[in-house]
Amino acid sequence: MDASIPLIEVRNLSKFFDTGHGRVEVLRGIDIVIQRRERIAVMGASGAGKTTLMHILGGLDHPSDGSVLIEGRDIFRISGGELDRFRNSTIGFVFQFHQLLPEFSAVENVMIPSLIAGNSSRKARETALSLLDRVGLSHRLAHKPGELSGGEQQRVAVARALAMKPRILLADEPTGNLDSRTSEEILALLNSLHESGDFTMLIVTHDESLARRQDRLIVMKDGKVAW
Ligand SMILES: Nc1ncnc2c1ncn2[C@@H]1O[C@H](COP(=O)(O)OP(=O)(O)OP(=O)(O)O)[C@@H](O)[C@H]1O
Ligand SMILES: [Mg+2]
């Protein structure tokens, strides 16, 4: 790995949607350079394009123009199946609504990325148990998402996001659905995992006090980076 290459480089990224009522330009020429281990807050009014940007950074959606380089590699030039593998091993997602699988227990949900990667269930389970311990949920392993509180569900989602030791953690309003005390706990957890881990973290938030505690702030306005 060449240390002079940024972890993430977004070049002239644009995204539009053609709808029945005309073209919606959501991202209009975004340039961002992100280094390893940075901890970044992304803010901006509702509709500014934050979620769209996170989805494209994570390879979940395609840009209309421009590119996303991760460790110098243009992720939209990676072919379908390989992009799935790359995403699974490189990027962890935490969403506002946890998006856990309701039929599976906490430990099973955290095992899934590792099983998808082809690891043995024993190895996947070991990793999941240790992560659930890190997020303070060793006493809730067999609970299904519906049997967990909102904060606990989000802890499981954080553990799942880190199951593959990703180099990038993308969190889109991870506390948007929680009360203020639980939000504080999830943020403290993310910060402590970041402190002891080796990944870059981008957190989309509407919470200014949360944003101020990150190393850098990216503000989006009208589909561009305002500052
Ligand atoms: N599939 C789509 N088709 C058409 N327009 C879309 C589509 N997805 C998103 N948009 C539009 O793109 C704009 C940006 O959406 P996005 O979800 O990225 O905003 P956001 O900054 O995350 O907002 P919020 O803070 O409310 O989550 C919005 O105006 C939205 O209506
Ligand atoms: Mg959003």
At 14-25, the pLDDT tens digits run 999 999 999 999
Q: Whose CA is nearest to atom 16 of ligand 1?
A: 49
Stretch 91-111: mean pLDDT, rounded?
A: 94
Residue with tokens 């994570």: 58
**How many A from CA of 101 to the centre of ligand 1?**
24
**How many A from CA of 17 to the centre of ligand 1?**
10
Q: Whose CA is nearest to atom 31 of ligand 1?
A: 47
Q: Whose CA is nearest to atom 29 of ligand 1?
A: 47
Rounded Cα gap, residues 128 and 226, in angstroms: 39
What dotted CATH number matches 8-225? Answer: 3.40.50.300
Rounded Cα gap, residues 91 and 60, in angstroms: 11
Q: pLDDT tens for residues 179-190? A: 999 999 999 999
What mean pLDDT is reported for the chain? 94
Q: Which atom of ligand 1 is nearest to the CA of 52?
A: 18
Answer yes or no: is pLDDT of 202 > 70: yes
Q: Which atom of ligand 1 is nearest to the CA of 45?
A: 25
pLDDT band at 97 (very low <50, low <70, confident <90, very high): confident
Residue with tokens 């940024």: 6
Q: Whose CA is nearest to atom 3 of ligand 1?
A: 17
Model pTM score: 0.94
Q: Which atom of ligand 1 is nearest to the CA of 44?
A: 21
**How many A from CA of 94 to the centre of ligand 1?**
18
DSSP string, the chain: --TTS-SEEEEEEEEEEEETTEEEEEEEEEEEEE-TT-EEEEE--TTSSHHHHHHHHTTSS--SEEEEEETTEEGGGS-HHHHHHHHHHHEEEE-SS----TTS-HHHHHHHHHHHTT--HHHHHHHHHHHHHHTT-GGGTT--GGGS-HHHHHHHHHHHHTTT--SEEEEESTTTTS-HHHHHHHHHHHHHHHHHS--EEEEE-S-HHHHHTSSEEEEEETTEE--
Q: Which atom of ligand 1 is nearest to the CA of 49?
A: 18
Rounded Cα gap, residues 134 and 193, in angstroms: 8
Greater confidence, 76 or 97? 76
pLDDT band at 113 (very low <50, low <70, confident <90, very high): very high
pLDDT at 81: 87
Closest to 56 measured CA to CA, from 65, 47, 46, 48: 65
pLDDT band at 36 (very low <50, low <70, confident <90, very high): very high
Rounded Cα gap, residues 163 and 89, in angstroms: 9
DSSP 8-class letter at 141: T
Q: Whose CA is nearest to atom 28 of ligand 1?
A: 47
pLDDT band at 91 (very low <50, low <70, confident <90, very high): very high
Least confident of 116-120, 179-183, 217-221: 179-183
pLDDT band at 1 (very low <50, low <70, confident <90, very high): low
* Pocket (CB within 6 angstroms of ligand 1): 17, 19, 24, 26, 44, 46-52
